[in-house]
Chains A and B, each alone.
Chain A
Amino acid sequence: MARDTEVLVLGGGSTGCGIARDLAMRGLEVTLVERGNLTDGTTGRMHGLLHSGGRYAVSDQASATECIEENEVLREIAGHCVEETGGLFVQRPEDSDDYFQEKLEGCRECGIPARVLSGSEAREVEPYLADDIKRAIEVPDGAVDPFRLCVANAIDAQNHGARIETHAEVIDLLRDGDDIYGVEVRHDSGPGKRTHATSGTTEEITAEYVVNATGAWAGQIGAMADLEIAVRPSKGVMTIMNVRQVDTVINRCHPKGDADIVVPHETTAILGTTDEEVADPDDYPEEQWEVDQMIDTLSELVPILEEARTIRSFWGVRPLYEPPGTGTQDPTDITRDFFLLDHADRDGVAGMSSIVGGKFTTYRMMAEQISDHVCEKLGVNAACTTADEPLPGSENIATLEAGMDDFGLRSPVARRSRQRLGSRACEVLETDEPNPVICQCEGVTRAEIKDAIAQSGTDLNAVRIRTRASMGNCQGGFCCQPMANELHPEYDEEMVREALDELFQERWKGERHALWGEQLSQAMLNYALHATTMNRDRDPASETSTVDFAAFDDGRAERDRIDGIRGGR
């Protein structure tokens, strides 16, 4: 039977996009479907740490070794997504000396370059560290932008012929006896670039092999074909600070615990995190106390955090998994290793494998192993090249950076644009048209917004993750509408309005957990601004019923009004 595609990948997170790129580069025909945007699940809800492996150097040395290997690979192939910040494992006076020593030795055993800094040396690196920091271990942690990395993988997969279908939710696995041969998806908004035109239509996509890379949602997918995959989703809260208090990843050097890491991320710093098992990855409580407690605890390392402004908080769900019968109680003890479940071996159902567990830093290695497995199943003999081929935007970055001009932009705007676009900067920013800054917080220009729209259509959240527009301190209060404006005239007024609402709504969601101090002032200003200039507190254009203009009177006649004024004197 002719199939629509050779391999169908479910899930547009880092794993799914990594697999799609890997297989497409090996010459296979690949289709990827994702329920929302790329990164919408767990990938877009991580703290942005590129692990050196230091965090696992005591508890899980196999993972630590994989981390440092992949850390080095990603610096090479994804230079424009990675910032080489370095990291510190910081010891407070009350933290154990023995553990500090174990950590140091563990790093060395795993091949992670590690160096001890005195308290004052550590404060020289990061002046906002607490005065009573005892010592620190310096490791090559980094910061990575998961959005850019995931999108770059998807773009490269597309460049190699893959079909990337976002806003296409899997509603059924197609199973014929003991063979899974595809899925049925419901298009939220039509195939191809999002156009909203065929919202609600469904499509059957058949494939020779299906890879379930839906992470925390893998159990739900499996259930569609009566397969049991016992993922144990575990939620963690992360809080985004308005500015970078630190430029180095700051870890607390203690065995394990909540709230022990600060990661510099683009223009912000992200605080993380907690670890608590939840039943449903789509529905779990988001509690304010989780945020408060995290800020309190991390202030012990970086006291300025206590007074600092947060711009939003978000929760992510880890796709933890352990083989049946392991029975670990505490989710922090569940392994971070990944598992490839071949349902043919496991359940006697052919045509699909599921991938669960794992972590962002090693996404490429995971993708490579799964792709090897898929190739073996399909009898394809092709080698993986993803460790050597740079992602789009990361080609020859070092040489390019030296020669790049400012594209007529103010220098910090040009600098940030280059950091985001990498080797694509010239292609995107060289324009004859006026190129004003659309998002002032993040320094994003119209040319970059237009480039993202060309990639993703009317979905402004997809534009957001590509550009960082609306991710700064005003959280879109000042830039959502000019972003939406760029959709016109290609898209009509109604669609532009819908796209604007959707983006602004998404921005508001995360801000709800940051409404005190300056961010509350910001939210009030945003509200006032949108209400008074765009009527967005009660917009007649969003009314579903038509306005009955006949119900209004004509006002008083000219003459009456004049009399009325006189009478009032």
Chain B
Amino acid sequence: MSDAQQPTDDGGPGDDDFEPIQVFPEAGEMDLRPGADNCYKCSTCDTNCPVAEVDDEFPGPKFQGPEQWRLKRQDDHDIDDSVMKCSNCMRCDSACPSEVPLSQMHNTARAEYVEENMSKLSREYWRNRMLANYRRLAPLGSMFPRTTNFVMGLSATQWLGEKLLGITGEREFPEFATETFREWWTKRGGAQVQNPDKRIAYFHGCYANYNPPEVAKALVRVYEHFGYEIMVPDQHCSGTPMFANGMLEDARRSAETNVRELAWALEDGADIIASCSSCSMSLRQEYPELFDFEGTEDVAANTWDAVEYLRVHEDLEAELEGTSVGDEFDDFAYHAPCHARNQGLDGQTVEVLEAIDGIDAHDVGDSCSGISGTYGWKEENYETSMKIGAEMFEHMEDADAKAGLTECPTCSMQMEHGTGYEITHTLEVLEAALVGPAAEADGQ
């Protein structure tokens, strides 16, 4: 019998086999250089980058991704600061004909930049940390929603926000709901439908919980209409704003909770449904690219966009055939969020709304809204953000509609900010068509 077969715990020679190996390095130390092998420098990513289009100083995704990674040696940690100009719209991922893991490279480089090159005492760091961790502040706002809304709406607050934190004073903060979705859900007594064969776990994300919870409520009513039992597991932020701000450790903590909770839901036979296109994007793509918790791949493979899921598992169009929404809604100018586009979902809303009598969604084209989550909230990015959005604003105004439609909360803010239109989520339209105003009594 050889030595190697005898486990020892003294750390001496001979116990090689039993030494724990860190199989997956910390995200900040991930070696993505081999990903540069796929790049043949065609520059399609650069021509699809909305930031590069309006900002000549921005070197574009090809530099940020494969070029920068290829130039690295193991101990090099000086990431170029231009990575902070990337809005994380992830359009480069879909643009690339050669499967270069661009956004993974950007997310990892950004995290490395923040870790190694950004002062932890800087205003930028704390502003970004605050924006990225919006979820941690939101409960405070929700505790005293009226006061918060009043204070946040004051021009003095906006002025201070810009001067002290570098948050643009041009935008109005979203209002906090007087009752969060989860409060409503508890009060209502949770799921109204029990069905072991049709179960979903709803990942509502932060915005649909703390800010107008109508989207979340609409999802509940639409899914219950189709006979689904809805679970609302404990959850943290999906991580999207944290990736975009290079706060990968914050994202890791949130993701760990989400993966654990959602993996449990999977064991209960549920599929995971998100109503926010960035949340579903994060669970589906960024988690498996950046993390390796047990169950990450399963969660990613079983996460769906709310409308997509119904189109696949139900005959949504047939169900909508002949329905109408009365006076509640008219035609919409529809913007497909970049993160929905990346999931291949950009055509579905227009098709689904065609089935409903009396309303249409007019696609305003494939431009980016420009806000990209927390990006357009930063004072230094506001102008770029509005330049990117200009095409969308123009197309919205040209469209034969007086209201906007989208599935992303921050795109919706940008659409409203640029046009003054009221912006609706597709699930709210489905709710009006399938359930109608009668359901308003539900849960009251």
Mark A residues whose CB is within 8 Å of B: 83, 118-120, 123-124, 127-128, 134-135, 242-245, 247, 264, 267, 304, 308-309, 410-413, 415-416, 440-443, 472-474, 477-478, 518, 521-522, 525
Contacts and interface: CB of A to CB of B under 8 A. Distances in A.
Contacts of A243: 33-34, 36-37, 69-70
Most buried by A among B22, B31, B74: B74
B70 A472 contact: yes
A267 B40 contact: no
Given A120-B19, A473-B41, 14 more contacts: A83-B73, A118-B13, A118-B19, A119-B16, A264-B73, A267-B70, A308-B37, A411-B81, A412-B72, A412-B78, A441-B41, A443-B71, A518-B38, A525-B41
B40 A525 contact: yes
Interface residues of B, number: 35
Contacts of A472: 70
A440 B40 contact: no
B6 interface: no
Nearest to B67: A440
B70 A521 contact: no
Contacts of B71: 267, 412-413, 415-416, 442-443
Contact of A247 (B74, B81, B98): B74
B53 interface: no
28 contacts: A83-B73, A118-B13, A120-B16, A120-B21, A242-B36, A247-B73, A267-B70, A308-B34, A308-B37, A410-B63, A411-B81, A412-B67, A415-B71, A415-B78, A440-B41, A441-B41, A441-B70, A443-B67, A473-B40, A474-B41, A477-B41, A478-B41, A518-B37, A518-B38, A518-B40, A518-B98, A521-B98, A522-B40
A244 B33 contact: yes
Contacts of A123: 21
A411 B21 contact: no
Given A119-B16, A120-B21, A441-B67, A411 B33 contact: no
Contacts of A247: 73-75
A200 to B, nearest CB: 39
A473 B39 contact: yes
Nearest to A472: B70
A242 B69 CA distance: 12
B40 A521 contact: yes
List 10 tightest A-B contacts by C-beta distance, closest first.
Answer: A309-B37, A247-B74, A522-B40, A243-B33, A412-B71, A118-B16, A410-B80, A411-B80, A411-B78, A120-B19
B68 to A, nearest CB: 5
A178 B4 CA distance: 70
Nearest to A244: B33
Contacts of A410: 59, 63, 80, 82
Most buried by B among A243, A245, A308, A525: A243
Given A124-B22, A411-B78, A411-B81, A245 B98 contact: no
B193 interface: no
Contacts of B98: 518, 521
Nearest to B16: A118
Nearest to A440: B67
B75 to A, nearest CB: 8
B25 A127 contact: yes
B328 interface: no
Interface in B263-306: none
Given A120-B19, A440-B63, A440-B67, A242 B37 contact: yes
Most buried by B among A83, A123, A410: A410
A134 B14 CA distance: 11
B76 interface: yes
A411 B79 CA distance: 7
B140 interface: no
B27 to A, nearest CB: 14
Most buried by A among B13, B33, B39, B71: B71
Contacts of A120: 16, 19, 21
Interface string B1-27: 000000000000100100101100100
Nearest to A268: B70
A128 B70 CA distance: 16
Nearest to A409: B80
A412 B76 CA distance: 9
Nearest to B82: A410
Nearest to A121: B19
Interface in B55-112: 59, 62-63, 67-76, 78-82, 98
Nearest to A474: B41
B42 interface: yes
A304 B76 contact: no
B40 A474 contact: yes
A518 B38 CA distance: 6
Contacts of A415: 71, 76, 78
Nearest to A478: B41
Most buried by A among B37, B38, B73, B79: B37
Contacts of A411: 78-81
Contacts of B40: 473-474, 518, 521-522, 525
Most buried by B among A119, A123, A244, A308: A244
Contacts of B22: 124
A477 B98 CA distance: 17
